[in-house]
Amino acid sequence: MTAKRRPSEVLADARRKDSREKRAKVLAVVEEMVARGDAVTLASVAKTAGVSNWLVYAEGVREHIETARKQQAGKGRRDRQEGLSPSAASLRTDLELSRQEVTALRGERDRLKAALQRQLGQQRDQIGSADLIARVEELTRQNEELASEVGDLRLVKSELEAKVEELEDDLAAARSSLRRMIRAENSGPALA
């Protein structure tokens, strides 16, 4: 049978186990960061591993992180010496060239945008002018047709007025003739 442990012993064992797990996690994170080529710093390891900053400074952990940092620093120096990694001056030159290219591209974009706006404006004006010209021609034709129709109607009106006047004269003459006939009939021999 095992001896009964006191609560303080259980707590101490749990803390030791938790510490071992966190340390193992930190060492695994350091190896992953080195494999990915991420910059290994004490703060970045603590953040990535999700542990406190004091743990990455603890004895046995800090040495692994410092070794990884030295390996990365040595690799960067070797890469620069072998021409595999760009120098700071090369990066500044690339940045300046990129800025000049961006400026040139923005200028070209602005020129093309202005040219497109002018062209679209001209097309709209031409379409508008063509439509207006067609509409004016249509209205002019309709006006001429209506003027011709008005002339024809005036001619018909004058002919009808002349006919009405002639008919009124005929009617007046017929009335006058009818009155005479009625008078003659009334003044004629009386029948018994």
Number of folded domains that form the chain: 1
Q: What is the pLDDT of residue 135?
A: 85
The pLDDT score that the predictor gives to residue 138 is 92
The pLDDT value given to residue 5: 80
CA distance 122 to 130: 12
Predicted local distance difference test score (pLDDT) of residue 89: 81
For 30, the domain range is 13-85
Q: Which residues of the chain have pLDDT under 50?
A: 192
Contact (Cβ atoms closer than 8 angstroms) between residue 39 and residue 30:
no
The verdict on residue 37 lying in a domain is: yes
List pLDDT tens digits, range 88-122: 787 888 889 999 999 999 999 999 999 999 998 88
Please name the residues in contact with 46: beta carbons below 8 A apart, sequence gap of 6 or more.
26, 52, 53, 55, 56
Is 31 domain-assigned? yes
For residue 100, is it within any domain? Answer: no
In a domain, 8, yes or no: no
Instruction: Please indicate, yes or no, if residue 59 is contained in any of the structural domains.
Output: yes
Residue 104 lies in a domain: no
The pLDDT value recorded for residue 190 is 57
Quick check: is 17 in a domain?
Answer: yes
Q: What is the reported pLDDT for 109?
A: 95
